Amino acid sequence: MKQFIIITIAILVAFKIQAQQRQPNKKAIALKREIFKIIKKYSLFNNVLNWKDIKTESKSLSFTKDDFSNEQMIYDFYTKKLREVGDKHSFFISSKKISEISSTAVVEHPQGEYLAKGIG
């Protein structure tokens, strides 16, 4: 009886671990949905994009546990789709890059005064 309980618990734990490993990263799914909505709402090429194909192809993306690689995979996927229909200007900046940009000091532009007679 004791062995049966131990084996049952081990099997349940194994199934739980396996289910967690299959579950995609929630941050990646939220990012994918957010980008999908933004492109659909604001893209100049939203009437050219095949939204059904994009939705089904985006479901086939295989996410990892690494947030950075998931973000990059999603950005690359949507950038590729936009490039295919002719959008050569859209791009995505990762949250890591944004934090790097925001942490750097802003360079002050030089200032000058017009003195007169074309000097300055």
Does residue 119 lie within any of the structural domains?
A: no
Question: In the predicted model, what is the mean pLDDT of residues 9-31?
Answer: 67
Cβ(68)–Cβ(94) under 8 Å? yes
Cα separation, 3 vs 70, in Å, equals 42
Does residue 16 lie within any of the structural domains?
A: no
Does residue 7 lie within any of the structural domains?
A: no
pLDDT in tens, 23-44: 557 888 888 999 899 888 888 8
User: How many structural domains compose the chain?
Assistant: 1
First vs last Cα of the chain: how many Å apart? 95
Does residue 18 lie within any of the structural domains?
A: no
Does residue 57 lie within any of the structural domains?
A: yes
In this predicted structure, the answer to whether residue 62 has a pLDDT above a threshold of 60 is: yes
Structural domain span for residue 83: 24-88
Does residue 98 lie within any of the structural domains?
A: no
